[in-house]
Amino acid sequence: MAATYEPIATTTLGSATATVTFSSIPGTYTDLRLIAKVKETSTAGDSRMRFNGDTGTNYNGTRVLRSYSTAVTGTINTTNGLWITQNSLNSLSWAMIEIDINSYSSSIAYKTIFATNSNASYDQQIPQVFNFTWRNTAVVTSLDFFNTSTPYVIGSTFTLYGIKAA
Amino acid sequence: MANTFTLIETKTLSTSTTSVTFSAIPATYTDLRLRISARTDYGATRTGGRLTVNADSSAIYDSGYIIQYDTNIEAASGGNVNGTYLDIEYLNGTGAMANSFCVTDIYIGSYLDTTNRQMSMMSGAVSNVASDTGLFLYNMNYRGASPITSLTLLANTGNWVANSTFYLYGIKNS
């Protein structure tokens, strides 16, 4: 059977790091999937993902989440990357982020992204789901992950998988 | 390069069953993914289930959820801390439309860790009656001190019915 779900690269942080980058992503898969286990050094800012270094106003989407006992829904239009969390991740416990990037190797379609963030602990429970578009037809060759004001802590891990349709 | 998304075990029920357990889960993966297609024999339209890790009934399960159900437009949300199991909702009961099995997808990150294990769950029950539908997004955390070696699934009330299926996958990051 052909291998259809393969790790492309994995990074475990040895020091607090502001930006984690996957570069030279091969264009040989159909979709990408990112799994991250992360913590941040403070409760400031929000985590974002940037495509091909694009800091323009090319990211928009919708969100549904629970933030401090309140359900929040709405649309988002952002510059400098799409949100993968609203507010910082809880600095007391690890959070898990799952991101699916569809048809990343297409040079015809805008890129659609589905992201969930699981960050449950005994002091807060914040499920979040985001649906985004990066309005660009370029093949995705690099991804940056960063928080707008605080770095990721030692031990945070980021793994990028490639998924083949055939 | 090795394929890293591997089926560990499948359970397809031939008769009604109270409890489904995956035991002796190998410690050779990075993450786990559990896919469920199931319904129960509880006499309601919508019902729920329970996930227990390592047969541990200690009050160390935390979860939060957002939900869309029936004809409500806005999402509702809630949380549960220091629970003794993790909820699985929604599941179809006997009042749900015939031949309809709910779908549940649970991703368990870093299951070999010995601190908190974060999980995400999407689960939905769909009916042909607008007031009988529901979609859940859960995030969950198990604070046990041991790697995950077993997962047990119970219906809240009653049994899992025949033809319910449970698939456990292992995912490696190298």
Nearest residue on chain A to B6, alpha-carbon basis: A5
- CB contact under 8 Å between A35 and B172, yes or no, is no
**CA–CA distance, B77 with B87 (Å, rounded to integer):** 14
Using a CB-CB cut-off of 8 Å, the residues of chain B touching A3 are: 1-4
Q: What is the mean pLDDT of chain B?
A: 88
Nearest residue on chain A to B173, alpha-carbon basis: A7
Q: What is the pLDDT of residue B3?
A: 63
Nearest residue on chain A to B65, alpha-carbon basis: A127
Q: What percent of chain B has pLDDT over 90?
A: 54
Q: What is the pLDDT of residue A150?
A: 85
**CA–CA distance, A48 with A129 (Å, rounded to integer):** 13
The neighbour count for residue B131, using CB atoms within 10 Å, is 11
pLDDT digits (tens, 9 = 90+) for A44-101: 778 889 999 999 999 988 888 887 677 877 888 777 788 877 655 555 578 889 999 9
- Fill in the DSSP letter of residue B132: G
Using a CB-CB cut-off of 8 Å, the residues of chain B touching A4 are: 3, 5
Question: For residue B174, is pLDDT > 90?
Answer: no
Domains (range + CATH), chain B: 5-171 (2.60.120)
**Residue B112: pLDDT band with limits 50, 70, 90:** very high
B97 vs B163: which has the higher pLDDT: B163
Report the complex ipTM. 0.83
Q: Please list, residue by residue across A119-149, b when 16 or more beta carbons sit within 10 angstroms of its beta carbon and e when fewer do.
A: bbbbebbbbbbbebbbebeeebbebbbbbee
Question: For residue B75, is pLDDT > 80?
Answer: no
A156 in Cβ contact with A67 (< 8 Å):
no
Question: For residue B73, is pLDDT > 70?
Answer: no
Residue tagged 């055939």 (tokens):
A166
Question: For residue B101, is pLDDT > 90?
Answer: no
pTM for the full model? 0.89
Ranking A61-75, A151-165, B17-31 by mean pLDDT, the lowest is: A61-75
CB pairs under 8 A between A and B: 127
Give me the amino acid identity at B69: Y
Using a CB-CB cut-off of 8 Å, the residues of chain A touching B115 are: 94
Average pLDDT over residues B149-167: 95
**CA–CA distance, B139 with B16 (Å, rounded to integer):** 29
Q: What is the pLDDT of residue B164?
A: 94
Domains (range + CATH), chain A: 5-163 (2.60.120)
Q: What is the pLDDT of residue A90?
A: 57
- Fill in the DSSP letter of residue A110: P
B135 vs B105: which has the higher pLDDT: B105
pLDDT digits (tens, 9 = 90+) for A95-143: 889 999 999 999 999 999 999 888 776 666 678 888 899 999 999 999 9
- CB contact under 8 Å between B82 and A64, yes or no, is no
**Which two tokens mark B60?**
């160390």
- CB contact under 8 Å between B64 and A129, yes or no, is no
Q: What is the pLDDT of residue A50?
A: 95
Using a CB-CB cut-off of 8 Å, the residues of chain A touching B109 are: 35, 37, 96, 118
Using a CB-CB cut-off of 8 Å, the residues of chain A touching B80 are: 125
